């Protein structure tokens, strides 16, 4: 991509999109562009809306107290009755995790997805007491969803039953890959169906939305089968307990752990509610084959010798409340002992690095040996690398490309691959969350931007926490808190009490503030003397300025300051 093409895209983003005309399809990504998570894209045609995916983003360290981050539904909130369906490409949290929050707004939105994907969704919805309108689809099937004809294509990913979706409409055709790679020897034998891709290419793909996560990675993604022998070798060397951490939906990785445990005579127990739930579903539906006698309940682990135990845990991304993090902090009923082996069988999601390293340090401090992807092939990515993406471009020959699912650098890298494969640069659309793309007669253009922010889930609260609230939390955690209370008599312009200063996380002793108290009092007295009609709010702001500048200069801190001025 050239600087000029990026500049044109930036200019288009500043516009408010015009009213959508009949026969034109509008595409609005509400998540997943510029971030790895909360994937959601809305397609509109002749007054009807089709949604592909509805996932969550997990919070980073600068978002304390936040449990999940949702797509911004405000763009469609007043038009929920126009939604004809929600297509789910696969069962990972960054694609299905926000479904309960959308269905709270309209419970009967029809859901379309594979058997395993919808089973994971239904279990999640049951916790929210929502009964969904689910429709199981399989690869090769064509479903008419409102005025969108949806054809489903098998793709390989790090979870079984993933699907790409091909849309046929009067405005043109669209192929959305979801997350995919081209593992030629997958554990379940289900490959990305390139023959199907080729047929769609022959028909004509007007707009291609490809997964961008590994667009910067040259070559081809390593096959899942290469992980099994590495895990078995690590199991053979381990002398005490083995704890393997992975995503709770990574059925293939769990299968490999179960198989390795069976070879080495170990028992496996699942740790973490989502791990227990998802693997139970996968086993029941036939996607997970549990060797006879290998799986045991966590309660039985204490009765087994250490060299016979494998624990399959959640928490591979350093999530504070996940099982592995609590083990590292000594807060879990499973205690880490010297000589235990911990295997992190996952890739680092961008933004989680510090959290994961903190968990690794905690585990090693307790005497565990920690093995991760950086030192052994204990995980492979579920996303197509550059070589695989180039194959797609050459097979499909799309007219227009909208890279999705990735940070900005991933989207740009994917756009460059498209241009190298012959897609005209003006037809490679680099977009953000909230960008508006219109397509008519197979021609796609970036036409504007709609408001699209982060929606935070904090406990039972959804959308009430703002970015300003998070900044306050960060300030409290990093810089501390100061309250200043002063009581004045406005009639005679005197201070009756105070200023009383109380601080937390700013200085070791409150006595350090004795120096600034007279200056605060003098500033308030001067203000009241010059203008007896000063409001208490104005006097509080004067207090804030005086102590704030002193703390910044004297203590090199910028704490949250809460000044209170009362009238007697």
pLDDT tens digits, 267-308: 999 998 889 999 999 999 999 999 999 999 988 888 999 999
Q: Residue 5: pLDDT above 60?
A: no
CB distance 27 to 3 below 8 Å: no
Position 427 confidence tier, pLDDT thresholds 50, 70, 90: very high
Q: Residue 219: pLDDT above 90?
A: yes
* Within a domain: 96: yes
Which residues form the domain of 492?
467-567
Coarse DSSP helix, strand, coil percentages of the chain, rounded to the nearest 5 percent: 35, 25, 40
Instruction: From 319, 347, 371, give the residue that closes a domain.
Output: 371
What is the rounded average pLDDT for all residues in the chain?
A: 86
d(CA 524, CA 532): 11
Q: Residue 1: pLDDT above 70?
A: no
Q: Residue 148: pLDDT above 90?
A: yes
Q: Which of 48-52, 320-324, 378-382, 451-455 has the highest mean pLDDT?
A: 48-52
Residues 473 and 555 occupy one common structural domain: yes
Least confidently predicted of 166-170, 300-304, 521-525: 521-525
How much is the CA Rg of the chain, to the nearest whole Å? 28
Long-range contacts of 216-220 (CB under 8 A, 24+ apart): 216/386, 216/409, 216/410, 216/413, 217/381, 217/385, 217/386, 218/385, 218/386, 218/387, 219/385, 219/386, 219/387, 220/182, 220/385, 220/387, 220/388
d(CA 287, CA 162): 12
471: which 2 tokens? 């900044």
**What's the farthest any 2 CA atoms get from each other in the chain?**
89
CATH code where residue 288 lies: 3.40.50.10710
Residues 182 and 253 occupy one common structural domain: no
Q: Residue 348: pLDDT above 70?
A: no
Average pLDDT, integer, range 253-272: 93
* Within a domain: 376: no
Residues 96 and 67 occupy one common structural domain: yes
Average pLDDT, integer, range 74-85: 95
* Within a domain: 68: yes
d(CA 155, CA 114): 12
- Which residues are CB-neighbours of 54 under 8 A, at least 6 positions away? 39, 40, 71, 86, 88, 95, 96, 97, 98, 99, 102
Full DSSP string of 218-233: -S-PPPGGGHHHHHHH
Instruction: From 317, 348, 371, give the residue that closes a domain.
Output: 371
Using alpha carbons, select from 118, 199, 92 the residue that is nearest to residue 151.
199
Average pLDDT, integer, range 244-253: 88
User: Residue 281: its pLDDT value, please?
Assistant: 95
Residues 254 and 324 occupy one common structural domain: yes
- 114-141 burial by CB neighbour count: b if 16+ within 10 A, else e? bbbbbbbbbebbeeeebebebeebebee
CB distance 414 to 406 below 8 Å: yes
Q: Which helix (H) or strand (E) holds 242?
A: strand 242-245
User: Residue 561: its pLDDT value, please?
Assistant: 81
Residues 252 and 393 occupy one common structural domain: no
User: Residue 3: its pLDDT value, please?
Assistant: 53
Position 66 confidence tier, pLDDT thresholds 50, 70, 90: low
Number of residues assigned to the chain: 568
Position 537 confidence tier, pLDDT thresholds 50, 70, 90: confident
Q: Residue 495: pLDDT above 60?
A: yes
Residues 365 and 386 occupy one common structural domain: no
306 φψ region: left (φ > 0), alpha (ψ -120 to 50), beta (else) = alpha
CATH code where residue 404 lies: 3.60.15.10
- The residue with greater pLDDT, 167 or 247, is 167
* Within a domain: 199: yes
Report CA-CA distances (Å) from 556 to 99, 220, 551: 45, 50, 6
* Within a domain: 272: yes
d(CA 438, CA 120): 33
d(CA 139, CA 180): 14
Q: Which helix (H) or strand (E) holds 116?
A: helix 115-127
Full DSSP string of 326-359: HHHTT-SSS---TT-EEEE-SPPPTT-HHHHHHH
User: Residue 489: its pLDDT value, please?
Assistant: 78
Q: Residue 8: pLDDT above 60?
A: no
d(CA 352, CA 360): 12
CATH code where residue 537 lies: 3.10.20.580
Using alpha carbons, select from 85, 120, 135, 137 the residue that is nearest to residue 106.
85
User: Residue 218: its pLDDT value, please?
Assistant: 95
Residues 40 and 127 occupy one common structural domain: yes
How many domains does the chain fold into?
Answer: 3
Residues 445 and 551 occupy one common structural domain: no
Residues 49 and 175 occupy one common structural domain: yes
User: Residue 400: its pLDDT value, please?
Assistant: 97
User: Residue 247: its pLDDT value, please?
Assistant: 84
Position 565 confidence tier, pLDDT thresholds 50, 70, 90: confident
Residues 118 and 206 occupy one common structural domain: yes
Residues 480 and 543 occupy one common structural domain: yes
Full DSSP string of 515-538: GTHHHHHHHHHHHHHH-TT--HHH
Beta bridge partners of 45: 25, 48
* Within a domain: 64: yes
* Within a domain: 250: yes
Average pLDDT, integer, range 244-261: 91
Q: Which helix (H) or strand (E) holds 370?
A: strand 369-371
Instruction: From 371, 401, 435, give the residue that closes a domain.
Output: 371
User: Residue 468: its pLDDT value, please?
Assistant: 59
- The residue with greater pLDDT, 496 or 224, is 224
Q: Which of 287-296, 344-353, 465-474, 553-562 has the highest mean pLDDT?
A: 287-296
> Could you tell me what percent of the chain has a pLDDT over 70?
89
User: Residue 261: its pLDDT value, please?
Assistant: 94
User: Residue 560: its pLDDT value, please?
Assistant: 78
- Supply the DSSP symbol for 407: -
Give the SS3 label for residue 171.
coil
Give the SS3 label for residue 62.
coil
d(CA 568, CA 565): 10
User: Residue 372: its pLDDT value, please?
Assistant: 83
Residues 205 and 275 occupy one common structural domain: no
* Within a domain: 562: yes
User: Residue 405: its pLDDT value, please?
Assistant: 94
């Amino acid at each position: 991509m050239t600087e000029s093409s990026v500049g044109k895209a930036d200019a288009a983003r500043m516009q408010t999109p015009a009213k959508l005309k009949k026969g034109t399809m509008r595409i609005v990504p509400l998540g997943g562009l510029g971030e790895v998570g909360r994937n959601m894209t809305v397609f509109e045609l002749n007054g009807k809306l089709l949604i592909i995916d509805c996932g969550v983003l997990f919070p980073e360290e600068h978002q304390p107290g936040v449990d999940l981050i949702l797509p911004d539904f405000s763009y469609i909130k007043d038009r929920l009755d126009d939604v004809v369906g929600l297509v789910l490409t696969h069962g990972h949290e960054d694609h299905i995790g926000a479904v309960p929050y959308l269905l709270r707004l309209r419970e009967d939105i029809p859901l379309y997805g594979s058997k395993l994907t919808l089973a994971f969704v239904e279990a999640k919805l049951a916790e929210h007491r929502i009964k969904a309108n689910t429709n199981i689809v399989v690869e090769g099937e064509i479903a008419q969803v409102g005025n969108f004809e949806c054809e489903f294509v098998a793709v390989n990913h790090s979870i079984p039953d993933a699907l790409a979706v091909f849309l046929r409409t009067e405005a043109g055709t669209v192929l959305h890959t979801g997350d995919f790679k081209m593992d030629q020897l997958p554990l379940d034998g289900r490959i990305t169906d390139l023959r199907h891709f080729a047929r769609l290419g022959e028909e004509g793909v007007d707009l291609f939305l490809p997964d961008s996560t590994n667009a910067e990675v040259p070559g081809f993604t390593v096959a899942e089968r290469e992980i099994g022998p590495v895990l078995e070798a690590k199991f053979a060397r381990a002398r005490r307990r083995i704890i393997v951490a992975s995503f709770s939906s990574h059925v293939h990785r769990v299968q490999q752990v179960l198989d390795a445990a069976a070879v080495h005579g170990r028992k496996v127990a699942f740790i973490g509610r989502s791990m227990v739930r998802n693997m139970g579903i996968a086993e029941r539906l036939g996607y997970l084959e549990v060797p006879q006698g290998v799986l045991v309940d966590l309660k039985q682990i204490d009765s087994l010798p250490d060299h016979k135990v494998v624990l399959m845990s959640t928490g591979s991304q350093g999530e504070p409340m996940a099982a592995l993090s609590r083990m590292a902090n000594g807060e879990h009923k499973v205690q880490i002992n010297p000589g235990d082996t911990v295997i992190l069988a996952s890739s680092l999601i961008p933004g989680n690095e510090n959290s994961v390293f903190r968990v690794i340090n905690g585990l090693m401090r307790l005497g565990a040996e920690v093995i991760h992807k950086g030192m052994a092939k204990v995980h492979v990515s579920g996303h197509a690398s550059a070589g695989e993406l180039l194959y797609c471009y050459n097979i499909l020959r799309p007219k227009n490309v909208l890279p999705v699912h990735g940070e900005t650098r991933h989207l740009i890298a994917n756009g460059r691959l498209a241009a190298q494969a012959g897609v005209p640069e003006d037809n490679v659309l680099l977009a953000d969350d909230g960008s508006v793309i219109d397509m008519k007669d197979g021609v796609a253009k970036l036409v504007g931007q709609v408001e699209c922010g982060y929606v935070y889930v904090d406990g039972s609260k959804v959308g009430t926490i703002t970015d300003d609230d998070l900044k306050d939390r960060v300030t409290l955690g990093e810089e501390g808190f100061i309250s200043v209370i002063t009581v004045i008599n406005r009639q005679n312009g005197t201070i009756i009490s105070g200023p009383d200063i109380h601080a937390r996380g700013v200085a070791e002793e409150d006595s350090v503030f004795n120096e600034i108290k007279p200056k605060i009092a003098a500033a308030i007295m001067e203000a009241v003397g010059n203008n007896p009609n000063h409001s208490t709010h104005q006097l509080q702001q004067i207090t804030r300025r005086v102590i704030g500048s002193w703390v910044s200069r004297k203590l090199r801190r910028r704490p949250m300051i809460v000044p209170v001025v009362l009238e007697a």
